[in-house]
Amino acid sequence: MKAVGIVVEYNPFHNGHLYHLQETKRQTGADCVIAVMSGNFLQRGEPALVSKWARTRMALAAGVDIVVELPYMFAVQAAKEFAAGAVSLLAALDCDYICFGSESGDIHHFTEAVKALAKQEDKYNTYLKKALKTGVSYPKASALAFQQLQIENLDLAKPNNILGFYYVKAIMEEHEQITPYTIKRIAAGYHDQTISDPSIASATSLRNMLHYSIEHLEKIAPYIPESTKKMLYEYYSTYRLFHQWNDYFPLLKYRILTMELNEMREIADMDEGLEYRFKEASMEAKNFAELIDMVKTKRYTWTRLQRTCAHILTNFTKQQKESNKKATYIRLLGMSETGRTYLKTVKKQLSLPLISKVSLLEDHPIYKQEKKAAFAYASALQEPLRTKAVKEEYATPPIGK
């Protein structure tokens, strides 16, 4: 059996994701689609709208065959670390292909860009440092450095192109036997706040339309499969909310105000001086958006600061970040019959242990952080729902279709 890997968040699963899934199957001809999916917190530092279990059900209903978790250690990171963690899991699962969405839509643009960078890495680092000294953010500095290298055909200021570049880079550097494919994004850009297509919209614009309330579910119905609509309704009916940062703001504020400065300095992505900005802003901010606006500068983007807030909330440290560079287990969240057959076929040759019971991971350093993220994610809920959500982390077996 041939398997293709995709890297997803499904926050929530929408018609654009369905198009990507269908095109992935068509272009690669793979028998099995494996999704590496972020858990409770996402790459931009946001809490997921609904739990990983609800999003796993969305994926399986739409035609994904296997869903495995991208641990917090990699999921809530900049593009390079995010991509490296995802690719290491897909390689461990013996995937033949990876297929990602991009603004480019031409895989040759990515392979040529990675080769060009490899030849000029010293120049890139020089340009990057020079740009950073001007006070711009790291993503902006990186894009400027790439421009100065005159890497043609690939706009590395675009979010999906950046991720695609690092997927291909990880594959080429680690000599993984994975063939990359890319599909051009249609109708909606990753960060689009508004909708211009009758059936496809970005996850960002859908969350904005939803206003994190069940009352607005019908507004996004044209842009999501019926199965997604059903699962969003079921989740809200059970847990009485769609997760957003404001639900966690009191706990985040408490953490910031009660941490010592030396403790804050140990938090991942907490650059020198940021701890003072967070402390000062927390004294005045009335909600999460106000906090970020007060801390934000030209150098520190909203996304970067959201990630730092997620690290504060879950107590993710610089030491943890530096000590775990690659996935060391595969946590299975769900599978179809096709997925079950595939896993039976490859199970003996998997290069990492396949985990369906987290009791086997209790002392594992990467899972220890995952457990903290699960507790933090559940903290937005009222009892007894909070306890129910925490128990789900331990007691939920892989979901079958």
**Do the domain assignments include residue 165?**
yes
- Render each residue's pLDDT in the chain as its tens digit; 401 residues: 999 999 999 999 999 999 999 999 999 999 999 999 999 999 999 999 999 999 999 999 999 999 999 999 999 999 999 999 999 999 999 999 999 999 989 999 999 999 988 888 888 889 889 988 888 888 888 888 888 877 767 888 888 999 999 999 999 988 778 999 999 987 544 444 445 456 788 899 999 999 888 999 999 999 999 999 999 999 999 999 999 999 999 999 999 999 999 999 999 999 889 999 999 999 999 999 999 999 998 888 899 999 999 999 999 999 999 987 788 999 999 999 999 999 999 988 899 999 999 888 877 889 999 999 999 999 999 999 999 999 999 889 999 97
Residues 304 and 389 in one domain: no
Show which of 274, 304, 322 is a domain's final residue: 322
Number of alpha carbons in the 13 Å side-chain half-sphere of residue 253: 19
**Do the domain assignments include residue 30?**
yes
Show which of 322, 357, 383 is a domain's final residue: 322
Residues 14 and 68 in one domain: yes
Q: How far apart are CA 47 and CA 9, in angstroms?
A: 11
Domain of 58 in residue numbering reads as: 3-103+158-213+326-400
Show which of 322, 341, 369 is a domain's final residue: 322
H-helix segments, 96-200: 107-119, 121-132, 138-149, 159-174
As given in the structure block, the two tokens for residue 379 are 């903290």
H-helix segments, 285-359: 288-295, 302-314, 318-323, 337-346
Binding-site members are: 7-20, 101, 160, 185-186
Residues 259 and 339 in one domain: no
Binding-site members for ATP are: 7-20, 101, 160, 185-186
Residues 164 and 17 in one domain: yes
69 bridge partner residues: 37
Residues 317 and 333 in one domain: no
Residues 317 and 260 in one domain: yes
Q: How far apart are CA 233 and CA 45, in angstroms?
A: 24
**Do the domain assignments include residue 118?**
no
Residues 67 and 207 in one domain: yes
- State how many domains the chain has: 2
Helix (H, G, I), strand (E, B) or coil at 254: helix
Q: How far apart are CA 28 and CA 92, in angstroms?
A: 19
Residues 36 and 180 in one domain: yes
- Give Cα separations from 378 to 39, 41, 133, 313, 372 (angstroms): 13, 12, 40, 12, 10
Give 3-state DSSP helix, strand, coil % of the chain, rounded to 5: 55, 10, 30
Residues 279 and 337 in one domain: no
As given in the structure block, the two tokens for residue 376 are 């933090």
